[in-house]
Chain A
Amino acid sequence: MTKLVPNLSAHWDEADSHTLTGYQRHGGYTAMKKAFELGEDGVIAEVKESGLRGRGGAGFPTGMKWGFVPQGDGKPHYLVVNADESEPGACKDIPLMMLNPHSLIEGVIIAAYAIRANYAFIYIRGETPHPIRRVRQAVAAAYEAKLLGKNILGTGFDLEVVVHSGAGAYICGEETALLDSLEGRRGQPRLKPPFPAVAGLYASPTVVNNVETVASVPAIIKNGAAWYKSFGTEKSPGIKLFAVSGDVLRPGIFEAPLGITMRELINYAGGMVSDRPVKFFVPGGSSVPLLTPEHLDVPLTYEDMAAHGTMLGTGTPMVFDTSRSVTKAVVRWIEFYKHESCGKCTPCREGTYFMVDILKRLEKGKGELADLDLLVDISAQISGRSFCALGDAAATPIPAALKYFREEFESKLVGAK
């Protein structure tokens, strides 16, 4: 049995876990002092060594991302925290910002120091006022304690942090769309390259990192890369916030080493809510292909998920029991991508529209066999043919759903019994 390892969530049961006092009671803001001793490159080396990978879904190695920022280029550098959590299933960054915002702020200080940025932005989803309040308060408290601002702790390092609110657009979780949005534009993705590390915010070198990624940094610096790597697997080191939702007895947040299994998480969640077993689960948000009960013992790591045709994604599994309709779940996900498609790329804009039409026809019992092939075909036409990952995500649910539950789709066709 894999043991849970509360790290970022270790003190959420204390009423003041969101305050400076609450954070400092448990050694908060000591990691930044160690970071200043390590030096900028020392911090990047330590984070590289820890093997920390991006927790926003893509899983890109964080230290490597920081290392891409050109140094001595004479341009301002920026750190942007992607706090636009809106992926269906993902619900870990919002609680983290409400209950432990100072871990994020300390992570921002360390990350900005490492990439030589004197400005950092926290782009928070607009529809979530309470996390906005809590992060704003944390930033204000850090300024007051002289942990932000000019000449932090006498090191000569300056850092300004701006808390920014989005306005309801899932696409702004895509890093280049987020940057356009932060520049006060429509949130549409940019063609890469150039990558943000070279030309990001205001055409200057920029690192965009997820909330959980940045918040994980202080513990890594404080306890060392070796400590972090003692959890998880070689390719997926460390600890992760798993948010388990759906038909389990106690849905919630579980902090555990990567490599924990879905069966173990379900056990921690008190088992299934009824005597109905798992029908399917989605390991990392709606943008990753679903899995079935035969995958309950597969370790939740980047590499094991890939080996089973899916992705770890945001690490926020949704669990559905045998009473749930896979076709209905899929319709709502595709409707979501249709609604959130920014309209820039034709395959995504038009493809999601047609997929919703076809799926609704199926739901009404008016679909034909050819519609199933058409759904697969449209998915293939979208995948890899749009600027950003939203298109790829929209192409994800149907092939996996049809692979495992083709009979359920066929049962809804015209003439089916």
Chain B
Amino acid sequence: MAITEQFKNELRELIARYPEPRSALLPMLHLVQSVEGYITQAGIEVCAAEVGLTTAEVSAVASFYTMFKRYPVGKHHLGVCVNSMCALKGGDAIWNRISSDLGIGHDETTADGQITLERIECQAACTHAPVMTANWEFMDDMDETKAVKLVSDLQAGVEVRSTRGPKIRTFKEVSRTIAGFDDGEVDEPAIDDAMLVGLRAAKKEGN
């Protein structure tokens, strides 16, 4: 692992953004995942030391949030929304297919460490149901065929792009983005037909 001085400096950079050090804890834990791949004991110790908490207090926080993982996450994290709208519109079929293809269930990782699969709750993209996430980037309007291709492309190292956003990198890399560090992907287009259907209808009416 990689708890380096540079890593500690980045933790301190996060702390410096807030009036109270402890407020930085969630972003700090995301940053731990960006180097460790999950929340390790070493990661908990360094966070505790930096914000002046006990390791028990930091563990208590980390264990509350579903994005913080207690076991190593694969190179890629795939989510399949199985909340009502997505499940009914095909999310269940997608889940069954790729769970069966990969031979893993919820919160499990393939033996080669490539892919972790998670049944996720509503991803705030119901207009694009059924939805998947690839390292938390939106994969909208999915179906079984697209899901199978997504998995095989990621496994083969073929470039995959989010349907509303940047190219899919790795779980570790996106964890750094979520922690609050720039990655140069911000201008990747986030627009699609569903976002514009209302505006187009309004313009057609002359509003």
Contacts and interface: CB of A to CB of B under 8 A. Distances in A.
* Bind each other: yes
Interface of A: 3-6, 9-10, 12-13, 15, 17-19, 76, 85-91, 93-95, 98-99, 119, 125-130, 132-134, 136-137, 162-170, 181-187, 202, 242-246, 250-256, 268-270, 286, 316, 318, 320, 324-325, 328-330, 332-333, 336, 339-340, 342
B179 to A, nearest CB: 7
Interface stretch (B4-12, B18-26, B108-116, B145-153): B18-26
Contacts of A184: 20, 22-26, 51, 61
Given A91-B124, A202-B19, A332-B87, A126 B205 contact: no
Contact of A165 (B27, B84, B120, B123): B27
A119 B18 CA distance: 9
A203 B129 CA distance: 40
Interface in B126-153: 126-129, 133, 136-138
Contact of A320 (B22, B60, B88, B174): B88
B196 interface: yes
Nearest to B138: A130
Nearest to B28: A184
B201 A254 contact: yes
Given A129-B165, A339-B121, A186 B27 contact: no
B207 A3 contact: yes
A140 B79 CA distance: 30
Interface string B64-103: 1111100000000001001111011100000000000000
Contacts of B187: 18-19
B31 to A, nearest CB: 10
A330 B178 CA distance: 32
Contact of A9 (B165, B177, B198): B198
B81 to A, nearest CB: 9
Contacts of A325: 88
Contact of A127 (B133, B165, B183, B203): B133
B166 interface: yes
A269 B136 contact: no
Nearest to B87: A332
A293 B156 CA distance: 48
A133 B183 contact: yes
A417 B94 CA distance: 31
28 contacts: A3-B205, A6-B202, A6-B203, A10-B199, A85-B124, A86-B121, A86-B122, A89-B126, A94-B124, A95-B195, A98-B164, A128-B123, A136-B180, A137-B186, A163-B180, A167-B67, A170-B121, A183-B22, A184-B24, A184-B61, A250-B193, A250-B194, A250-B197, A252-B127, A255-B202, A318-B85, A340-B121, A342-B64
Interface in B19-60: 19-20, 22-27, 29-30, 51, 60
Given A88-B84, A88-B85, A333-B84, 8 more contacts: A12-B196, A88-B121, A127-B120, A129-B174, A130-B165, A184-B51, A318-B85, A328-B88
Nearest to B26: A167
Closest 5 pairs between A and B when the two form their complex, measured CB to CB: A252-B197, A184-B25, A254-B198, A168-B67, A184-B22
Contacts of B24: 184
Interface residues of B, number: 73
A129 B205 contact: no
Contact of A185 (B61, B89, B136): B61
A320 B129 CA distance: 13
Contacts of B200: 13
B23 to A, nearest CB: 5
A202 B127 contact: no
Contacts of A90: 122, 124, 126
B126 A91 contact: yes
Contact of A316 (B17, B126, B180): B126
Nearest to B122: A88
B79, B126, B202: which has the most chain A beta carbons within 10 Å? B126
Given A130-B162, A250-B194, A286-B84, A136 B182 contact: yes
Contacts of A10: 199
A251 B199 contact: no
Interface in B166-191: 166, 174, 177-180, 182-183, 185-191
B164 A165 contact: no
A132 B83 contact: no
B198 A129 contact: no
Contacts of A86: 121-122, 124
B125 interface: yes
A186 B177 contact: no
A181 B185 CA distance: 27
Contacts of A19: 187
Contact of B177 (A4, A133, A255): A133
A166 B207 contact: no
A128 B185 CA distance: 13
A185 B203 CA distance: 46
Given A91-B126, A137-B186, A182-B23, A329 B197 contact: no
B169 to A, nearest CB: 10
A187 B188 CA distance: 32
Q: Could you say which of A12, A88, A340, A342 has the most chain B C-beta atoms within 10 Å of its C-beta?
A: A88
